[in-house]
Amino acid sequence: MAFTKKVTLKSSDGELFIIDRAVALQSRTIQYVLEDTNPVDAIIPVPAVDARTLSKVLEYCKKHLIDLNTDFEDYSKWDKDFVDAEVWMLYDLIMAADYLHIPPLIDLICDKIASMFKGQTPDKIREIFNIDNDFSKEEEEDFKKKSGWAFK
Amino acid sequence: MDAFNTPITLPMSYSFTSSGGSTSSGTAANTNINPWMDSRIWSKLPQRLIDRVIAFLPPPAFFQARAVCKRWYGLLFSSSFLELYLQISPRRHWFLFFKHKSLKSYIYRNSGGGSDRANCEGYLFDPYSNSWYRLSFSLIPSGFSPASSSGGLICWISDEAGPKSLFLCNPLVGSLSQLPPTLRPRLFPSIGLTVTPSSIDVAVAGDDLISPYAVKNLTTESFHIDGGGFYSIWGTTSSLPRLCSLESGRMVHVQGRFYCMNYSPFSVLAYDITANNWWKIQAPMRRFLRSPSLVESRGRLILVATVEKSKLNVPKSLRIWGLQACGTTWVEIERMPQQLYLQFAEVEGSQGFDCVGHGEFIAIMIRGSDKALLFNIYGKTWQWIPPCPFLSGGGGSSSSSGEGCELHGFAYEPRLATPVTTLLDQLTLPFQPFNG
């Protein structure tokens, strides 16, 4: 009976999303809320996620719930298209997935971000993530000598 | 890198999937205008998530990224990071190649200044991006050859006849673990290795040099250790079927069994690790096979060979069969496109070839040359592997330069950590340290 029930989520900008409970349960954060308080037809606020991001997250949750029979190939294609998004959207998505605690979605986006910065030089990566270089010149040389194979 | 200057002239139609070839140069050109690099966005990402992103990097990119700062550098030694890495890092179906130790290369080496470093480096190939990396194996003592690979580890075995010494090496982190030596003396045994996160199994099979007559006495001795505290140091032995010839030196692991090719006449030998017994499986079209190889792919045993029926009106071809679940019948999965086969046959020139499989890929290496083909089972696509830029003074532009740098390949899954080898530490303590 619990699976047919609907759950209402409220985004940070006040939009309401009425979804199947099973879809919402993919978020462990929401799962805990539902288990703890068992709100009947109550509205669950999601204060950290705006409507645009939330709808995208729910799109992912619906896809990964409904198509349990879809084979691996189809999923990976769908997932690939899903993360083929604008950079700010990826950022919002990963923060939302983190807040809502949806590990497969977090990992999907992590993999995407990794594939974007894997060809970059250490200098560039420092710039992107705003990290200070705390190596001395000697340490840097020594490192290059040891891990030179990876810089080919 | 101009790794794509293939000396073989090939119609572009056969590089169907060479996605890496075009994208690698493409991304390099795009990086300057790439909007994703906006630090206003990514510098806000919490450290926890950045670590997770780093765990998804392929190992070469990970090692590059370690140069960013001391914290990133230290991730390789952080147990919480490595735990996360082992949990979420995707499996990469890469290959590791070595220069083949043939009699010829020994002679070359002796005449060419006697440098014995041929096996001290391996060539890591990433089939997803068509990139090559050179790995050092300088920790390996001389007189050892790579024999098998599993779970991020390469197994090296002593060349000399006698009880065999074996090492397991993780080249990315430079770790080296020794196995206790085998109990029986051997010359060129075939080595089977399978490593899971919590167990190591090794099978050494071949003539055990016990018979004083020139009669082969074919046996297996097996090594097992697991996280449950159970181990068996070469204690398990069994005999092979009579009249076998395991000249390839290779064994392939598929779901609890080792398989190896038996020669003249061709058949497949199977060994069940837990049951400790051997049996023979008939090879498909065995009378017409040439250069058969066994490979593993996605939990199945695959046989790759060329078929030459001289009397019949069947065109020569390279075919791929999969062993069915019943364990006795083979079904043809794929045949090399005829046009490509003609090119392949020309390069191969009846020298023979060896195959190795990993995940969706099968690499076909032509003997006596550094040329290799890659078949993708998912996409059913074929392509020539871009020549390894570290061989024979850059690319091998003349036809003769390919000689002497024949490649010997292994399925290799690069891993930043292989904690299973700590199981061996408790065993090797009572043994003498190896003085290489």
Shortest Cα–Cα distance, B286 to chain A (Å): 34
| pLDDT at residue B411, as a whole number | 95
Tens-place pLDDT, residues B203-228: 999 888 776 666 677 889 999 999 99
- A116 and B36 in contact (C-beta within 8 Å)? yes
| pLDDT at residue A67, as a whole number | 58
Contacts of B3 in chain A (CB under 8 A): none
Contact yes or no for A87 and B38 at CB 8 A:
yes
Tens-place pLDDT, residues B148-161: 999 999 999 999 88
The residue that leads in pLDDT, B390 or B433, is B390
The ipTM, to two decimals, is 0.91
Q: Does A134 touch chain B (CB under 8 A)?
A: yes
Contact yes or no for B65 and A122 at CB 8 A:
yes
User: Looking at residues B368-389, what average pLDDT do you find?
Assistant: 92
Tokens of B118: 């041929």
The letter for the amino acid at B153 is L
Contacts of A128 in chain B (CB under 8 A): 37-39, 42-43
Whole-number Å distance between alpha carbons of B138 and B158: 15
Whole-number Å distance between alpha carbons of B316 and B111: 40
Nearest to A126 among B68, B90, B131 (CB): B68
Tens-place pLDDT, residues B383-402: 999 998 888 644 444 444 44
Q: Has residue B14 got a pLDDT over 80?
A: no
- A46 and A34 in contact (C-beta within 8 Å)? no
- A44 and A33 in contact (C-beta within 8 Å)? yes
CB-defined contacts A:B, below 8 A: 118
Q: Which of B32, B49, B76 is the best mutation test for A, with the most CBs of A within 10 A?
A: B49
Q: Has residue B307 got a pLDDT over 60?
A: yes
Q: Does A131 touch chain B (CB under 8 A)?
A: yes
Shortest Cα–Cα distance, A69 to chain B (Å): 19
For the ranges A99-108, A141-150, B47-56, B340-349, the lowest mean pLDDT is seen at A141-150
Q: Which of B23, B27, B42 is the best mutation test for A, with the most CBs of A within 10 A?
A: B42
Q: Does A126 touch chain B (CB under 8 A)?
A: yes
Q: Does A122 touch chain B (CB under 8 A)?
A: yes
Q: Which of A94, A102, A111 is the best mutation test for B, with the most CBs of B within 10 A?
A: A111
Shortest Cα–Cα distance, B270 to chain A (Å): 30
Shortest Cα–Cα distance, A86 to chain B (Å): 8
For the ranges B105-114, B134-143, B245-254, B301-310, the lowest mean pLDDT is seen at B105-114
Whole-number Å distance between alpha carbons of B191 and B179: 13
Q: Which of A125, A135, A136, A143 is the best mutation test for B, with the most CBs of B within 10 A?
A: A125
Averaged pLDDT score across all residues of chain B: 82
H-assigned helices in B256-314 = none
| pLDDT at residue B25, as a whole number | 38
| pLDDT at residue A4, as a whole number | 57
Residues 6+ apart with CB under 8 A from A25: A31, A34
| pLDDT at residue B70, as a whole number | 94
- Report the chain B residue with the minimal C-alpha distance to residue A118: B61
Tokens of B115: 């440098």
| pLDDT at residue B104, as a whole number | 41
Q: How confident is the model at residue B5 (pLDDT cuts 50, 70, 90)?
A: very low
Report B:116-135 residues touching A (Cβ under 8 A). 131-135
Computed over its alpha carbons, how large is the radius of gyration of chain A?
20
Tens-place pLDDT, residues B223-244: 999 999 888 999 888 888 877 8
Whole-number Å distance between alpha carbons of B405 and B364: 15
- The residues pairing with B335 across neighbouring beta strands, listed in sequence order, are B319
Q: Does A110 touch chain B (CB under 8 A)?
A: yes
Contacts of B46 in chain A (CB under 8 A): 98
Q: What torsion, rounded to 10 degrees, do the Cα atoms B194, B195, B199, B204 define?
A: 40
Whole-number Å distance between alpha carbons of A7 and A41: 7
- B347 and B318 in contact (C-beta within 8 Å)? no
| pLDDT at residue A66, as a whole number | 64
Reply yes or no: is the peptide bond before residue A47 cis, omega within 30 of 0.
no
The residue that leads in pLDDT, B400 or A129, is A129
Give the distance from CA B52 to its chain's centroid: 28
For the ranges A136-150, B252-266, B344-358, the lowest mean pLDDT is seen at A136-150
Look at residue A142 and give its three-state secondary structure.
helix
User: Looking at residues B73-84, what average pLDDT do you find?
Assistant: 95
Q: Does A68 touch chain B (CB under 8 A)?
A: no
DSSP-derived secondary structure for B54-121: HHTS-HHHHHHHTTS-HHHHHGGG-HHHHHHHHHHPPP--EEEEEE---HHHHHHHHHTT----GGGE
Whole-number Å distance between alpha carbons of B23 and B26: 5
Whole-number Å distance between alpha carbons of B417 and B276: 30
Beta strands in B359-403 (DSSP E): 361-366, 372-376, 381-384
Look at residue B200 and give its three-state secondary structure.
strand
Tens-place pLDDT, residues A95-104: 999 999 999 9
Contact yes or no for B136 and A149 at CB 8 A:
yes
Look at residue B235 and give its three-state secondary structure.
strand
**pTM for the whole thing?**
0.85
The residue that leads in pLDDT, B129 or B5, is B129
Q: Of A92, A109, A1, which is closest to residue A46 (Cα–Cα)? A: A92
Whole-number Å distance between alpha carbons of B116 and B101: 11
The letter for the amino acid at B12 is M
Place of tokens 């695959």: B302
Whole-number Å distance between alpha carbons of B321 and B292: 11
Q: Does B113 touch chain A (CB under 8 A)?
A: no
